[in-house]
Amino acid sequence: MSDVGRFVWHELHTQDRTKAQNFYVPLTGWNLKEFSMGPGEPYTLCQLGGKDHAGIMKSQAPANVPPHWLPYIHVDDVDAAAKKVTELGGKVINPPMDIPDIARFAIVMDPTGGAFAIHQHFTPYQAEPETPPVGSFCWDELLTSDPEKAANFYSALFGYTQESMDMGPAGTYRILKNGDKRRAGIMQSPPEMPGTYWSSYIAVKSVDESTKKARELNAKVMVEPQDIPNVGRFSVVQDPTGAVVSFFTGM
Q: What is the pLDDT of residues 41-83, one digit of tens each?
A: 899 999 999 999 999 999 988 888 899 999 999 999 999 999 9
The confidence score (pLDDT) of residue 63 equals 84
Tell me: pLDDT of 1 over 70: no
- At 66, is the secondary structure helix, strand, or coil? coil
Containing 54, the helix (H) or strand (E) segment is: strand 51-58
Q: What percentage of the chain reaches a pLDDT higher than 90? A: 79
Best CA proximity match to 225, nearest among 216, 238, 212:
212
Q: Which residue type occupies 147?
A: P
The structure's pTM equals 0.95
Three-point CA angle 80, 13, 245, nearest 5° = 100
According to CATH, the topology of domain 1-251 is 2,3-Dihydroxybiphenyl 1,2-Dioxygenase; domain 1 (3.10.180)
- Residue 166's pLDDT is what? 85
Residue 234, beta-bridge partner list: 226, 248
Can you say whether residue 149 is alpha, beta or left, with left for phi > 0 and alpha for psi between -120 and 50 degrees?
alpha
pLDDT at site 104: 96
Q: What is the per-residue pLDDT across 4-40, written as a single tens digit (0 to 9) for each?
A: 999 999 999 999 999 999 999 999 999 999 988 777 8
216 band by pLDDT with thresholds 50, 70 and 90:
very high
What whole-number distance in Å separates Cα of residue 240 and Cα of residue 188? 25
What are the b/e assignments for 176-190, b being 16+ CB within 10 Å? bbbeeeebbbbbbbe
d(CA 193, CA 64): 17
